[in-house]
Structure 1
Amino acid sequence: MAVDVDGLAIVRVATPARIVETDIPARLDRLTWSRFHTLVVIALGITWILDGLEVTLAGAVSGALKASPVLHLSNLDVGIASSFYLAGAVLGAIGFGWLTDRIGRRKLFFVTLALYLLATAATAFSWNMTSFVLFRFLTGAGIGGEYTAINSTIQELVPARYRGWTDLVINGSFWIGAAIGAAAAIVLLDPAVIDPELGWRFAFFIGASLGLVIFVMRLWIPESPRWLMIHGRPEQARVIVADIEAGSAQPIAAEQAARLPRIRLTMRRATPLAEVGLTLLRTYRQRALVGLTLMAAQAFFYNAIFFTYALVLTDFFGIAADQVGWYILPFAAGNFLGPLLLGRLFDTLGRRMMITFTYGVSGILLAVSGYLFAIGALGATGQTVAWTIIFFFASPAASAAYLTVSENFPLEVRAFAIALFYAIGTTLGGVAGPALFGALIDSGSRTSLFAGYLFGAALMVAAALIAWRFSIAAERRTLEDVARPLAATPD
C-alpha cells in the first residue's frame, strides 16, 4: 500500500522494511544561500576556530610551559604533548564517527563539544607533565569527534553548488582561531601584563568560554534530513526541510516539486560494520586511496611544521616566547585567505585540478624554503613570509582533503569514513610529526630540520600526483549522485 505524505511516497510492504521515495535531497540542493545556511556555517563551522585556537595556544605558550616552575617541559615534552593531542583526536574521531552514523549527527555534535569544553578548561589546572598530557589528549578527542559530526552535517545541509567553497572556508577558519590564539598569547604571555605562570593557564580558558557560546548556538541546528530519511524517520525529515524552505522564503509549489528528481530508499536502523568495511575497502577502494593519501600528506605537512612553529622561532631565531604571537598572525592570515580566495575555483575549475595544483605548489615551495633556512639565508621575518606564502596554498589543499573524504562516500558511512581517513592519515602523518620535529629542533642542526622539511614536501608532491590520476569530479553534483546511498533501491 502506498501513502503520499507531502513529497514522500512511503511504500508499506509485508516485510518489516519500509521503502521511501523522496525528493528531500533535491529540495535541499535547489535552495539558494539563506540565513539558515549562514547559521549552520557559524554554529557548526566554528569547530575549526576552536581547533586553531587550541593548536596555536599550545604552540605559542610552549616557551611559557618550558619556563613554568610547575610543569618545566622540554622541547621534546612539548612535542609529545602535541602528539597526544593528535592521538586523542584520532581515537575520538573513530569512536564518535561510528556513533555519528548510528545515532545521528545532532546528538554527537553536542557530546563532542561538551567533552572539548571540560577538557580544555581542565588543561588550565594541569599540575605536572602527566596531567597536562592527559587533558590535551581528552581535548583532542573532543575535537576529533567534532570533525566527523560537523563535516557530515555541513555536507548534507549545504546546497551542492556551494559545497566546495563552503567546506574549504569552514576548514580554513581554523586560522581565525589561530589568530585569536596568537593575539591572546601576546597579551597573556607578556610578563608586564600578567605572571606567565597564570597567563598560559588563562589562555586555555579562552577556548572553553568560546565553546560555551557555541553550545547555545547549536540548539537551533536540526538533525540532517538526509540521515533521518534513511533511518526510519522520513516524516520528521520532511518537516525539517519544510521549515528550512519557509525560513529561507523559498517554499516549494506542488508543480515544482513534481519535477524534482526522487530517490527510493530502503530505511534501516543502522549499517553493519561489515558493510561499512566492504564499501570503503572494495566498492570505493580507489576513492579510499585518494582520501588516505591526501589526509596523511597534509597531516604531516601541517602538524609537523605548525606544532613546532614557535620552537623554530625561539630556538633558531632567538624570538622571545611572548613575541611569537606577532609572527603567527600573518601566517594565520595567509592560511585563511587561501581557502577564501581559491575556494570558489574548486567549484568552477574542479576538484581534480585544484587539489593537484595546491598540493604540488605547497610541496615545491616548502622544499625551496627549507633549503633557504638550511643555508641561513632567512631571518625570522623572512621565514615567516616564506611560510605565509607556502600555506596560502597548503591551507586550501588541507581543507580539500576533508572535502574529498566527506563527499566521496555514501551517506550511511560518511561520518565513519571521515573519521577513519582522518584517524589513519593523522596517525601516519600527524602524531609522529610533532615529536619528530621536536627532536630535530633539539638537535640544533638546520640540516637535520631541512631533511624533515624535504620529507614533508615529498609527501605533498606525491599526493598531488595521486590526486591528478585518481580523484573524481564531484563539483556541483548532489551527494547522492557522487556516491549513491547504500539504501537506494532500483526505481
Structure 2
Amino acid sequence: MTAVSPIRTDIPARIDRLPWSRFHLLVVIALGITWVLDGLEVTIIGSIGPMLTHPGTLALTDQDIGTIAAWYVAGAVAGALLFGWMTDRFGRRSIFYTTIGVYIVGVLATAFAWDFWSFALARALTGFGIGGEYAAINSAIDELMPARLRGRIALFINGSYWAGAAAGAGASLPLLSGTFVSVDTGWRLGFGIGAVFGICILALRRFVPESPRWQVTHGLAEEAEHTTRTIEDQVRRSVASALPPAGRVLTIHPRRVFGFGLIVRAMLTRHPGRSALALALMVAQAFLYNSVFFTYGLVLTRFHAVPAGHVGAYILPLTLGNFLGPICLGPLFDTIGRKPMIAGTYAVAGALLAGVAFLFGFDMLSAWGQTLCWMVIFFVASAAASSAYLTASEIFPLETRAMAIALFYALGTLLGGVTAPALFGWLIGTGDMWLVAYGYLFAAGLMIGAAICEVILGVEAAGRPLEDVAAPLSEH
C-alpha cells in the first residue's frame, strides 16, 4: 500500500524518558500475567500427567502424555504465527483481547475432555491462545516500557511464568489427593484454575492502551499523540513532578500495511545474523524446558518410584529457582549488558546440565537430589530463556516486531519444543536411564551452542531506545 505523508515525531523518546509509575505497573500486571498462565498450563500437565494414566481418569499411556504436550506446543506455534501477523497488521490491543478469549475456551474444553483426542485437541486450542499472546504482549510491553528499564522488566515478566508454575504444582497436591474431591474431578478443576485467571485478565486489560509507536508507524498520528498524552498525564499524576524533556525526533514514512515480503526481507536480508541468533536462543531454551517440565513427572514415577499424587511436591521447588533467577539476575542485563549476560547464562546452564546428565545416567541422584540440581540449573537457565524472548523482541524493526517474535518462537518451539516432550516421552518409556541422560546431554549442547552464537552475533541493546537498536522500516 502507498505510504502516506511523512510524520516527524518524538513519541518514542517521550515514552522512553518516562519515570516508573503506576501506569507501568498496571501494564506489567495486565499483560505480564500471560506468562503466569503459560506456567500454570505447562506445570499442571506435568504434575497431573502421571495421574491421567490411571484407569479411573483418562487411562493414557506415558507416550500419550508426551504426545499431548507436543499438541499443546504445536497449537502455540500456530497461534504465534497467525496472531503475530495480525498484531503487526491490526495493532497490539485488539489482538491481546482475542488471544486471551481463545485461551479461556481451550482451557475450559480441557477440563471437560473424555479421551485422548478430546484432551489433545483442547490442549492444542489452549496453546493456540497462549502462542498468540506471546507476540502481542511482548510487542506491547517493549514499546510501552522506558528503555533504561526494558531488560529487567522483560526478564521479570517472563520469570512470572514460574509463579504460574508454582500455582499449578501447588494446586495439584490437594486436587489429586482424593481427600476433598475424587481424583477424576480434581484434575479437571486444576485446569479450571486457568479459566478463572483468564476471565480476571479480561477485566484488567481494558486499562492498557494501544502502542503509540505502532499507531504512528501506521499513519495514525493523531491517535498516537492522544495515547501518548494520556499516558504522560497518568504518569505525571502518579509521580507528582514534571517530566524530563524528550530527546530524539524521528521522521517516519508510515504505511497502513507492511507486506509480508517486506517483513521477511527485513529479517533475512537486512538482519540475517540477528535472525540466526534469535533462532539459536529460542531453540535451545525451548528444548531444555519442554524436555524437562512436560515429562519430569514421568521421570519421578518411573525412575524414583514417586507416587503420582506426590509429583507436584517435587515440581514446586523447581518453580522457586526459576522465579528467582530473572529477579536476581535481571538488573544485570541492563547494567553489565545483554551480550555478556546472555552468553554467560546460556553457557553456565549448559555446563551444569551436562554434569547432571552424567549423575543421572550413573543413577547417583535421588528424587530430591535431582530436584535440587534442577533448581540450581533453572535459576540460571530461566534468566537465559527470558533473554531469548527479550532478544527476539528488541533487535528487529518495530514494524516487524510481533511477526519476528512469533516466527522465532514458532521455529524455536517446532525445532525444540515440539520434539522434546515427544522424544523424552519415548526415552523415559524405554526405562533406560542412560538414554534419558543422552537426551539431557543433547539439551546441554544446544545451550552451549547458543552461548557461542551470542558471543559472535549478539547485539548490545542495554539502555538503548528500540529505534537505535533497529531503525524502523518506516524511517527510511
Q: TM-score range by the shorter chain?
A: over 0.9
Q: Amino acid of the residue matched to residue 229 of structure 1?
A: V
Q: Amino acid of the residue matched to residue 404 of structure 2?
A: A
1:31 matched to 2:18 = yes
The residue number in structure 2 matching 1:40 is: 27
1:286 matched to 2:273 = yes
Cα drift, residue 19 of structure 1:
1.0
Distance of 1:123 and 1:272 partners within structure 2: 36
Distance of 1:166 and 1:476 partners within structure 2: 12
1:128 matched to 2:115 = yes
The 8 Å contact of residues 41 and 194 in structure 2, kept in 1 or not, is answered as yes
Residue aligned with 2:203, SS: helix
Distance of 1:291 and 1:16 partners within structure 2: 30
Distance of 1:86 and 1:220 partners within structure 2: 30
Residue aligned with 1:192, SS: coil
Correspondence 1:160-239 to 2 at 5 A = 160-239=147-226
The residue number in structure 1 matching 2:361 is: 374
Distance of 1:198 and 1:27 partners within structure 2: 52
Distance of 2:109 and 2:299 partners within structure 1: 28
The residue number in structure 2 matching 1:271 is: 258
Q: Amino acid of the residue matched to residue 460 of structure 2?
A: A
With normalisation by structure 2, the TM-score equals 0.98
The residue number in structure 2 matching 1:6 is: none
Count of matched residue positions in the alignment of Structure 1 and Structure 2: 473
**Cα displacement string for residues 382-409 of structure 1 (whole angstroms, at most 9, x for unaligned residues):** 1000000000000000000000000000
Distance of 1:485 and 1:132 partners within structure 2: 43
Distance of 1:350 and 1:434 partners within structure 2: 33
The residue number in structure 2 matching 1:3 is: none
Q: Amino acid of the residue matched to residue 394 of structure 1?
A: A
The 8 Å contact of residues 300 and 430 in structure 1, kept in 2 or not, is answered as yes
The residue number in structure 2 matching 1:12 is: none
1:389 matched to 2:402 = no
**Cα displacement string for residues 62-99 of structure 1 (whole angstroms, at most 9, x for unaligned residues):** 12211143521000000000000000000100000000
Residue aligned with 2:219, SS: coil
Residue aligned with 2:114, SS: coil
Correspondence 1:451-466 to 2 at 5 A = 451-466=438-453
Distance of 2:78 and 2:8 partners within structure 1: 37
CA distance 1:128–1:16, change in 2 (3 Å): closer
The residue number in structure 2 matching 1:139 is: 126
Q: Amino acid of the residue matched to residue 471 of structure 1?
A: G
The residue number in structure 2 matching 1:425 is: 412
Counterpart of 2:98 (choices 103, 107, 111) is 111
Q: Amino acid of the residue matched to residue 292 of structure 1?
A: L
Cα drift, residue 447 of structure 1:
0.6
Counterpart of 1:472 (choices 447, 459, 469) is 459
1:439 matched to 2:426 = yes
The 8 Å contact of residues 3 and 254 in structure 2, kept in 1 or not, is answered as no
Q: Amino acid of the residue matched to residue 49 of structure 1?
A: V
With normalisation by structure 1, the TM-score equals 0.95
The residue number in structure 2 matching 1:50 is: 37
Correspondence 1:295-444 to 2 at 5 A = 295-444=282-431
Unpaired segments of 5 or more residues in structure 2? none
Q: Amino acid of the residue matched to residue 317 of structure 1?
A: H
Q: Amino acid of the residue matched to residue 135 of structure 2?
A: T
Larger radius of gyration between Structure 1 and Structure 2 = 1
The 8 Å contact of residues 295 and 401 in structure 1, kept in 2 or not, is answered as yes
Q: Amino acid of the residue matched to residue 26 of structure 2?
A: L
Q: Amino acid of the residue matched to residue 48 of structure 2?
A: V
CA distance 1:20–1:335, change in 2 (3 Å): same
Distance of 1:236 and 1:252 partners within structure 2: 25
State percent identity of aligned pairs.
Answer: 51
Distance of 1:192 and 1:243 partners within structure 2: 52
Distance of 1:296 and 1:75 partners within structure 2: 24
